Structure 1
Amino acid sequence: MNAASCRLSWVESANGHPDFPLQNLPLGIFSHGDDRRRGGVAIGDWVLDLQAVLAAGLFAGLAGQAAEAAAGESLNAYFALGADAHQALRTALMQLLDEASPQRSRLEPLLLPMSQCRMHLPARVGDYTDFYAGIHHALNVGRLFRPDNPLLPNYKYLPVAYHGRASTLCVSGTEVRRPCGQLPNGEGQAPLFGPSRRLDFELEAGVWIGPGNATGQPIALADAGRHIAGLCLLNDWSARDIQAWEYQPLGPFLSKSFTTSLSPWVVSPQALEPFRRPQPSRPEGDPPLLAYLDDPADQRTGALDIELEVLLHTERMRRDGLAAQRVALSNTLYMYWTLAQMVAHHTVNGCSLRPGDLFGTGTLSGPQVGQHGSLLEMTQGGKVPLVLGNGEQRLFLEHGDEVILRARCRAPGVVSIGFGECRGRVVDSLP
């Protein structure tokens, strides 16, 4: 490991922590003992209160400006500052929390136990766009409906996406109420109305937008990375039966808009830098990239190596004292499009992005059994049950099922970092 990777913190729980060592330092919005929301930093099992650090006078210059923006009730103002300010705050935090920091005695009282903190959404989201960049998910789902031609003609030319509903984004731990809607009722029959019987999860990464762009001024692919403020985990809950009836001709509506769960910590591009990888080569015969989506630097370093995990914890497992069971293990390397390509495409028509806007990557499945990011794929459209270790079977989610998403970044010679968890438990249908 190089010197930076080897650095330890005086916060003992950070050293060797699976998610939040000194090399991560994600930001989030929390409250502690009251409803006062403010910005904090995850370090080991603790949250460092940024408002308290500011009050102690421990930031200066650009780092101080960034800390002031990050310490408020949301991270929107911080996102708007851009990469230089974000790096300045990160550098200052690493110095303050390093094992050699002379400020330890002043900072220790400003740490709060993470277990006692309530997390909130990191930002006020004006717009939410969900992409479809996981090519294996697109192939798996396409084969269910179009076995001979699973991908539609546009898939390999542009990052497919739809506009989601920002008002029902929620933080990890929020209960997920089973939605009601119109359900298909057989060929030629009028639909039924009732609670979804085919409730599903979708394993995705969330992308927080930093500085925006003016309407009519596209973001060039080479500049797109500087408009990304960080990543999180995202569960795009989906009612497959409602979706099957409503999605033609305009795509998902009520089947997706009822809830989308987010992990609370924003992992910065700077923390993810050691885990950048070349974008996987396009298969032979795929069309060449159009010029606005083609940048050699993005192809060399635009992908991220993030291991993604889905666990399921049923009501019976909890009652019997059993741990949650892993049902999928995937990776962001299975994305057909890079994050920068998504930003460039989203704005190429002049559409403006704003700080705190959110992208979903789309479901990130791998090509093999055990790598599927949704029950729709695992059960082949509800035909083959998923058999759990305790003998339970699932075609789709049942009352009391809790879905847990996790993520880890690992590389030789580099301290591993994680994202924390994105949890959601299914409860009874709406009244």
Structure 2
Amino acid sequence: MSNDDLGAGAVSTLIRPGDAEWDSARRFHSGIGSPAAIIRASSVDDVSDAVRYAAGQRLDVTIRGGGHSAWCGLPGGLTLDIGALDDVSVDGTLVHVGGGATWGAVAAVLAGHGLGISSGDTASVGVGGLTLGGGIGLMVRAWGLAADQLVGAQLVTARGAVVEIDDSSHSELMWALRGGGGNFGVVTRFDFRAHPLEGVVAASLGIEGDARPVLQTLRAVMADAPRELTVTYMDVPAMDPSAPAGASIEAVWAGSDVGAARAALAPLLALSQVSEREFGHTPYPDVLLHAPEFDPENPMPGFVGGNALVEVLDDDVIDRLVSFRESRPASVAMLRSLGGAYGDIEQSATAFPARGATWFAMAGAFDIPGMLDDDARAAAERDWAAIEALGAGVYGNFTTSTEADWATRMYPPETMARLAAVKREWDPTNVFCRNHNVVPA
């Protein structure tokens, strides 16, 4: 890789194996990568230079923002680190967010303006990857997906050009960015329409014993709950840092009315299996979790399972999900309520699948040596496949898989065809293929 092949700004941030910064530069939030080279972009011009070089040399590009994606661990190619493009500015309810920003930083800025955006669950997750994949956040019923709040973007194309996008300019590309992933270029700035947020109420409820009747009650509660309320059921082992060990329900109310939140959850609070751990006002940024960074001395094990967007949370789905967790000590199960604003969006309006889903379900077994043999692994895959078959689609942001067929599982044929046409226009040589890839039509 010749320095002459890149612009001056990008050259100053080009890092190769053997360079003093290599070991630190190839570490990302969830692991350690082994690309051919890394460029740390500090400007949009750096991004353009890097993309032109990669396209000219036929190098696949991995775009790294928050660094939670499994794609950052693939060997070879060029890793384009845009973490320095992290500015957040507010103009009324219009929020401009750099493509390398993380949601914790965005929430901290918005809180000072009395605003909120339905983002992800975790403070260190990148705005870019989560939004482009849809973004099922903790206020999804109040305001929809992160992508539903996206009103514009600045994007560097596969040819290195910088384009401004909104619904009136490059409208089909704008459609694709709302759920089609990082297939179409490097988004260097996201423009969101935020919402007035006077406060947040958060509740944590513990569950003892059989979770099935609790989930049946939760289903009934959410069937006609105010859209300010979004709930998440989790059952995790002690080894999982994502939540307290055991079964619980975490609820977020987009607003400051503790009484209204308590009234909505009253049927759950009345159950003998449910205990109230916390219930009250919480600063908006504090609803986001803080995931530990990758520890090479104690890496996370593999994961055998998946996720599904479920239209009807019937007793069969509940039983299969709870049984999956009960039969495997080192496993996790999760449900998040959808509906509300999520379901207000017409299916054809964005690339995100399954707008008729009312719940998001996830389960998986941790592939720990000595705990899962080949038969147990196959059984977990079989049990999860039976749950996924009851869903209406899958959510790409909640998988660690880098398998090539995942995009075909995510998008129905008509959506995939439309995405492939957009891909053909904006990235015909598939420079941006290190993602849930849409192949150019």
Structure-1-length-normalised TM-score: 0.24
Return the structure number with greater relative CO, CA threshold 8 A, min gap 6.
1
TM-score normalized by structure 2?
A: 0.24
